[in-house]
Amino acid sequence: MNHDELETLPISRNTFYSLDIFNNVQFEKLAGFLLGCKTEIIEPGTKLIDPENPIQRLIILLEGELEVKVEAQGGEYTDFIKPGHCAGEMSIFDNIAPSATVSAKVTSKVLFVPGEVASAMIRSSHHLCLNFLQILSQRLRNNNKIVCEEQYHIRRMEEYAMVDPMTGLHNRRWLEEMYTREMVRSNKGNFTLTAFMLDIDHFKNVNDTYGHLAGDQVLISVAQTLIRSLRPSDMPVRYGGEEFTVFLPGTSTKNAKIIAERIRRDMENMSISLPDGNIIQVTVSIGFAERVDEDTVASLIDRADKALYHAKQNGRNRVCHNLGNGKMQLMEPSVE
């Protein structure tokens, strides 16, 4: 190629060698292909790749910055292309319409390479092919990282949506999912399963006497004590207001009585420091019931709730067992 022909090329030799996409590629090997290409100055916001109006071409960024946006079910994802890198190569490789929108982030200078010319360039240069693979591999890693981060954030949001922000216990939404799963498992395998319903005695008096901040502290303290009194496999939930529920997998009536009384006693012995400096104590009432054949989450909780009501009607700070058929058994509080 003579000097006059080189003058008609859209980019100079120095620019060619400064671009990552042409790393280790011989200028003379591709100079003839570049004759069919052109450079343009692109204003900010101009779309270079549009899924609704696809044009098969390779876009090499010479100056400026390009913005890539992909819409997916999880939202919109944004990435940026720096000078020396390219866009549009995937559509050239697989001949499928682009899935991303590429626009100029700032005033930019780009080299447009027609799709058939880009394909011929790749076939003629082993190093150019390797450069494309390297760029695509890097993007794949970055995209995998983005996907993993997005999945992490989605999981975190789902977890937050299932946790009561005040007490840190799971909430009713979590209960519906996990209690149902545990109930199905227990019914199919004929495993023992016990449900507790727990209510803070005279909780309204705490709010009325000390204020709602004090009430919040009581709820937090009760939740913390409840967790300490249970096994890791148990499932405590803030049911609503001052009520809590617990599913205890693999727990028979005999063991449930021991656990319920331990919880009641631990609550009774707990001292709660309020924001105003006062120290108070509270008690709880507990009702429980063991799963019977074909129980549902609602029916088991309902029977535990009836036992709770019976405990509160008979002096509070008590544990009551729902025996079934309307029969209730109050347990005498133990003394350490």
- Strands lying side by side in the sheet with 108-114: 38-42, 108-114, 57-63, 86-87
The runs of H, that is alpha helices, within 162-296 are 172-189, 203-210, 212-229, 253-268
Burial class (CB in 10 A: 0-12, 13-18, 19+), 243: middle
From the list 223, 255, 259, the residue with the least C-alpha distance to 241 is: 223
Report the C-alpha gap between 207 and 209 in whole angstroms.
6
- Strands lying side by side in the sheet with 284-290: 235-240, 243-249, 193-200, 284-290, 319-324, 327-331
Alpha carbon 31 to chain centroid, angstroms: 50
Q: Summarize the chain as % helix, strand, coil (round to 5).
A: 45, 25, 30
From the list 109, 49, 56, the residue with the least C-alpha distance to 82 is: 109
Query: Is residue 281 within 8 Å of 270, Cβ to Cβ?
Result: yes
Query: Is residue 287 within 8 Å of 181, Cβ to Cβ?
Result: no
Query: Is residue 323 within 8 Å of 329, Cβ to Cβ?
Result: yes
Report the C-alpha gap between 254 and 334 in whole angstroms.
15
Report the C-alpha gap between 27 and 33 in whole angstroms.
10
**149 catalytic residue (yes or no):** no
From the list 69, 89, 100, 97, the residue with the least C-alpha distance to 138 is: 89
Among residues 67, 182, 242, 290, the one annotated as catalytic is 242
Report the C-alpha gap between 123 and 133 in whole angstroms.
13
246, β-bridge pairs: 196, 236
Q: What amino acid positions are annotated as catalytic residues?
A: 242
